[in-house]
Structure 1
Amino acid sequence: MAAESRTEPGLRDRFRAQVRQEVKTAALRQLAEGGPEALSLNAIAKQVGMTGPALYRYFTNRDSLLTELVIDAYGDLASTLSHAADAGTTDPVARLTAVVEAYRAWALAEPHRYRLLFRAPLQGYDAQSTSLVEASQPAMKVVLEVVGALAKPGTAVAEGPAAQFREWMNHHEIVDVPEAVALRTTMLWAHLHGLVGLEIEGNFTSMGIDPVSLYESEVKDFVRSL
């Protein structure tokens, strides 16, 4: 009996983790089919074979489920970018190119999750909560590192933006990164996000424009500017 009692919490924990993962998988299907507005805990409960009230033992409400999906997506994106950065080459241009290509590839493969990260999912939902902001930092740190390996030292940044970037980096314990690198990284992300966002919404298709060539051109221009 003693051995059974010792193993029981582990079994409960594994069962709870399995149910939570099934719930999140069902939620991701809803997001892919109808966006955040389609997210329904009652519908998810039916899909995983439980009642609505039972589901609340695993997620207290829709926002708590949404928050976990966002955190999971940030983690997945960070892992994808980190793997691209460490894929075997030490050439800084090749590493940066691999990272930005991985960013686009992830967004195209997971458009519903990409939108979840960079749009306000639902009215009233706090997309800038501390937990979500912290979850976003690992992906940004990967890009900071690969941009920093290419950036020329001593580039001046206006004091207003420089002070803001210093405050941001201090808050997130980002050390030994010049303000100019933080600025250039942010501008790179803004440009790539604009291109990727337009692409996953089909805007380039309607214009008859090849997004691949646009993306490659943007990356080359950015590398030359460094």
Structure 2
Amino acid sequence: MAKSSAKTDAETGPQADAGTPRERYRAQVRAEIKQHAWQQIATAGASALSLNAIAKQMGMSGPALYRYFASRDDLITELIREAYRSLADTLHATAATGADLTVLAHTLRDWAREDPHRYLLIYGTPVPGYHAPQDVTGISDEIMKTLLDACAASLAARKTPPPAPAFLAEHREWAAGHPAPPAALHLALTFWTRMHGVLSLELAGHFAGMGFDSALLFAAELDALAPR
């Protein structure tokens, strides 16, 4: 996957020179490994990711590469962790401006379209045999909490909140302790499934040749869920 060569302030500022030469070299090699991993994912999918193939591309031995990532799952975890962290921070920054649910939805779509393989790694077909560690689950909980805040605010602005399925009052483990009322839980679940449904189909190319603008479909689904 081609990446921009432009450097951010964080990459060129004082922090870029932090650490010993050995630490900087290690960070550089790990970054190169991840770049090759993304190229493999773009070509053949995450399930085909091979550390030995990356080692060959980099002119390294397999054992040498394993000093940077202990296993394929270790590398996948790093990619997934960074993807979730990026989305969580992006949505949080948008929400901090006072943005409503509609703006958050379009922020999600923009983030997904910016790098479809990154999106599909975390919301596409699960990698067989892979289980995310607890800290990655915690980052995904941050995303859901931001969404639940927006859903609760959206419903608070309505004169008559819509009814919610009764079971949501009893089964709210997925809400990560958020105090949102059942109606907000229902809106969040509906929003999450329908927005991701449209995005996943769009990014996987399933709308190609159907003769409509997927952006308009996304907007129509959103308007049905969160009318202005």
> How far apart are residue 178 of structure 1 and its match?
1.9
In structure 2, what is the Cα distance between the partners aligned to 1:18 and 1:173?
A: 38
Report the number of matched residues. 207
Alignment match, 2:10: none
Give me the TM-score of the superposition, normalised by structure 2: 0.80
Residue 215 (1) aligns with residue 218 (2): yes
Residue 200 (1) aligns with residue 203 (2): yes
Alignment match, 1:133: 137
Instruction: Assess if the C-alpha contact under 8 Å between 1:39 and 1:62 holds in 2.
Output: yes
4+ aligned runs moved over 6 Å, structure 1: none
Residue 110 (1) aligns with residue 115 (2): yes
Alignment match, 2:155: 151
Q: SS of the residue aligned with 2:138?
A: helix
Q: Residues 221 and 157 of structure 1: is their aligned pair in 2 closer, same or farther, counting only changes over 3 Å?
A: closer
Q: SS of the residue aligned with 2:85?
A: helix
Instruction: Assess if the C-alpha contact under 8 Å between 1:40 and 1:62 holds in 2.
Output: yes
In structure 2, what is the Cα distance between the partners aligned to 1:143 and 1:20?
A: 32
Give me the TM-score of the superposition, normalised by structure 1: 0.81
Residue 161 (1) aligns with residue 172 (2): no
Alignment match, 2:39: 29
Instruction: Assess if the C-alpha contact under 8 Å between 2:155 and 2:161 holds in 1.
Output: no
Which structure dedicates a bigger proportion of its chain to helix?
Answer: 1
Instruction: Assess if the C-alpha contact under 8 Å between 1:37 and 1:122 holds in 2.
Output: yes
Instruction: Assess if the C-alpha contact under 8 Å between 2:88 and 2:139 holds in 1.
Output: no
In structure 2, what is the Cα distance between the partners aligned to 1:148 and 1:44?
A: 46
Report Cα offsets for 1:160-194 as digits up to 9, x if no partner. Answer: 222111x333xx343x3223212211110100011
Letter in 1 for 2:28: Q
Letter in 2 for 1:47: Q
Q: Residues 96 and 34 of structure 1: is their aligned pair in 2 closer, same or farther, counting only changes over 3 Å?
A: same
Gaps of 5+ in 1: 1-8
From 104, 127, 148, the equivalent of 1:122 is 127
Q: Residues 120 and 220 of structure 1: is their aligned pair in 2 closer, same or farther, counting only changes over 3 Å?
A: closer
Percent sequence identity is 40
From 78, 90, 111, the equivalent of 2:88 is 78
